[in-house]
């Protein structure tokens, strides 16, 4: 669902199921940041950010990506935990999701320089491969 242009930030939403639970994703595009939220049961438990600056653009352009590696997160992106990093398994899963989503944004637009801020409220501390892909696909529908 896309909101009218009168809103101050572009907003896209998608809903689906991840690991059998109703899940909502939203992407808001501000002038200086891209905000991504993924919630289950209406909760947000963790916040991460991944900077996409000009140095990253140079590294992205210089590296060639094999077809085998095209689904891997870009190695030069560094996720940082802002809030909610008390459970190591949950933090690792959240950082992996944040860097994967930032990689998708960078691959779609090599000139993207806004910081990616990712808020997650996923019920499970760890995700299996299928659930991880379901989250990425759900957010991908908003990008």
18-71 pLDDT tens trace: 999 999 999 999 989 999 999 999 999 999 999 997 555 555 555 555 555 566
When divided into structural domains, the chain yields a total of 1
Q: Say if 50 falls within a structural domain.
A: yes
Q: Say if 115 falls within a structural domain.
A: yes
C-alpha distance from residue 128 to each of 47, 88, 134 (Å): 20, 16, 10
pTM assigned to the model:
0.86
Q: Say if 98 falls within a structural domain.
A: yes
Q: Say if 3 falls within a structural domain.
A: no
Q: Say if 106 falls within a structural domain.
A: yes
CATH code of residue 94: 3.30.230.90
The domain of 106 spans: 10-63+79-140
């Amino acid at each position: 669902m896309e909101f009218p242009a009168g809103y101050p930030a572009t907003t896209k939403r998608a809903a689906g199921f991840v690991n059998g639970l109703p899940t909502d994703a939203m992407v808001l595009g501000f002038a200086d940041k891209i905000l991504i939220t993924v919630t289950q049961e209406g909760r947000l438990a963790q916040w991460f950010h991944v900077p996409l600056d000009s140095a990253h653009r140079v590294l992205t352009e210089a590296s060639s990506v094999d077809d085998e590696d095209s689904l891997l997160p870009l190695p030069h992106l560094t996720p940082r935990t802002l809030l909610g990093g008390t459970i190591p398994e949950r933090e690792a899963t959240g950082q992996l999701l944040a860097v994967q989503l930032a990689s998708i944004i960078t691959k779609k637009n090599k000139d993207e320089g806004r910081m990616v801020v990712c808020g997650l409220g996923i019920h499970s501390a760890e995700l299996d491969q299928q659930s991880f892909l379901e989250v990425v696909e759900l957010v991908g529908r908003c990008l």
